[in-house]
Amino acid sequence: MFSKPAMRAKIGVLVGLVVVAAALWMFQGLGSGRRDFILGLRWEKLTALILIGTSVAVATVLFQTVSRNRILTPSIMGFDALYLLIQTLAVAALGVAGFAMLAVGPKFLIETALMAVLALGLFGALLGRGGGTADDIARTILTGVVLGILFRAGSSLIGRLLDPNAYATVQAISFANFGRPNAALIGWGAALSLPAIAIALWLGPRLDVLGLGRDRAVTLGLNYRAMVMGTLALTAVLVAVSTALVGPVAFLGLIVAGLTHGLFPAARHRLRLLAAALIACLLLVLGQWVFERILGQQAVLSVVIEFVGGVLFLVLLLRGRIR
């Protein structure tokens, strides 16, 4: 079941499923009128969903390797709330008009860069402490959760301090909505996350060593600190992309990581990253297809993800998986 050919077969099945889901998304229920227009819209959303799914999946796998823990995800640690805060600060600094006037691309690049720097500082300090006891880990997770609350409240506060106009702008980006991703950023997002994903894949073998823990990694000659910082930076960039496209994605990473671990236990990173990306895309595309076309509700997928992910987290917690 877990031999190399078997794993390859599973990947093949996943690829097939993703293709089917994409085809359903694109061509199901296509009426006769205005085909080109509708296909164009659907293609846009599809690329957005795939970009988001891949980014979140890779970010989560990387993060769990760095933190050596299956419960942690970037969003639990407040990464996406940090991004919201940066956005709000940008609006505060530039004013609504000024913010709107900035070109989409450069603004996004600057925000992402800021995010990477801040995330490195904050979470690098938290995770680099190397505290091994379960209590330390629990406190780190709790800190991340509270930081998320702090950043969200901070965004809300700054939003209120500004013009009510600005507040509405900030409010709109606070909820994940897979039904209406921010299409303008797809190009820029891809420009950032595709290289990041490529680097992650290239780092695959080194990540395997990183996952053995600080002591083993250092003994084997890995530059531990540089690897941790570099991986966190990649994570920050990928989270920035997915949050910019669709908002905070809460527990998607946890579900994907859990499923990946279940289907591909003890896989090497290159395989795991690929598998996680495929699973995430499948979940998002199929999930959004079900909710949008079958159930007629656009905005509900993220709520379901949060519910299922939360339950999964509690189960893992109660089973003592926090170690």
Partner 1 sequence: MRDGRIRLLAGLVLAGLAVASLAVGAANVSVRDPQAWLVLTVSRVPRTLAAMLAGAALAVAGVVMQQIARNKFVEPSTTGAPEAAALGLIGITLIAPEAPIWVKMLAASVTALLGVTLFLQIIRRLPPKEVFLVPLAGLILAGILGAAVTWIGWGTDLLQYISIWLLTGEFSGVIAGRYELLWVAGLAAAIAWFAADRFSILGLGTESATALGLRPQAVMRLGLVVVAVVTAMVVSSVGMIPFVGLVVPNIVSRMLGDNLRRTLGPTAMGGAILVLGSDLVGRLVIHPYEVPAGTVLGVVGAALFLMLLWRRPRRVQ
Choosing from 142, 168, 183, 294, the residue that interacts with partner 1 (CB under 8 A) is: 142
Q: What CA–CA distance (Å, rounded) separates 45 from 20? A: 16
Residue for token digits 């390859």?
8
> What is the sign of the dihedral through the CA atoms of 135, 81, 111 and 98?
negative
Q: Are 174 and 84 in contact (CB under 8 A)?
A: yes
Our CB check for partner 1 shows the closer of 108 and 167 to be 167
Residues 236 to 255 in contact with partner 1, rule: CB under 8 A: 250
Tokens coding 169: 């702008």
**Which CB, 154 or 213, lies closer to partner 1?**
154
Stretch that binds partner 1, among 14-22, 87-95, 215-223, 309-317 (CB under 8 A): 309-317
Q: Is 6 in the site for partner 1 (CB under 8 A)?
A: no
Residue 153 in the binding site for partner 1 (CB under 8 A):
yes
Which of 138, 172, 183, 198 binds partner 1 (CB under 8 A)? It is: 138
- Check binding of 168 to partner 1 (CB under 8 A): no
Asked if 89 interacts with partner 1 (CB under 8 A), we say no
Beta strands in 205-314 (DSSP E): none
Nearest alpha-carbon partner for 100 in 201, 34, 168: 168
Query: 19 or 149: whose CB is closer to partner 1?
Result: 149
Give the nearer residue to partner 1 in terms of CB position, either 41 or 134. 134
Name residue, tokens 């913010």: 99
Shortest distance (Å) from residue 92 CB to partner 1? 13
Q: Which of 303, 259, 297 is nearest to 281 (CA)?
A: 259
CB of 277 to partner 1, least distance (A): 25
**CB-wise, 230 or 258, nearer to partner 1?**
258
Both tokens assigned to 223 = 């530059």
| 149 is a site residue for partner 1 (CB under 8 A) | yes
- Smallest Cα–Cα separation from 263: which of 93, 87, 14, 55? 14
Rule CB under 8 A: say whether 96 interacts with partner 1.
Answer: no
Binding flag, residue 143, partner 1 (CB under 8 A) = yes
Instruction: Kindly tell me the burial class for residue 57, based on how many C-beta atoms sit within 10 Å of its own C-beta (0-12, 13-18, 19 or more).
Output: buried
Cα–Cα distance list, 75 to 3, 205, 259 (Å): 32, 25, 17
Identity of the residue, 144 or 189, whose beta carbon is nearer to partner 1 in the bound complex = 144
CA distances from 240 to 33, 158, 190 (A): 37, 20, 12
Taken in order 221, 193, 23, 175, is the CA torsion positive or negative?
Answer: positive
* Count of residues engaged in binding partner 1, rule: CB under 8 A: 36
Please report whether residue 160 would count as binding partner 1 according to CB under 8 A: yes
Binding site for partner 1 (CB under 8 A): 134-135, 138-139, 141-143, 145-147, 149-150, 152-154, 156-157, 160-161, 164, 250, 297, 299-300, 303-304, 306-307, 310-311, 313-314, 317-318, 320, 322
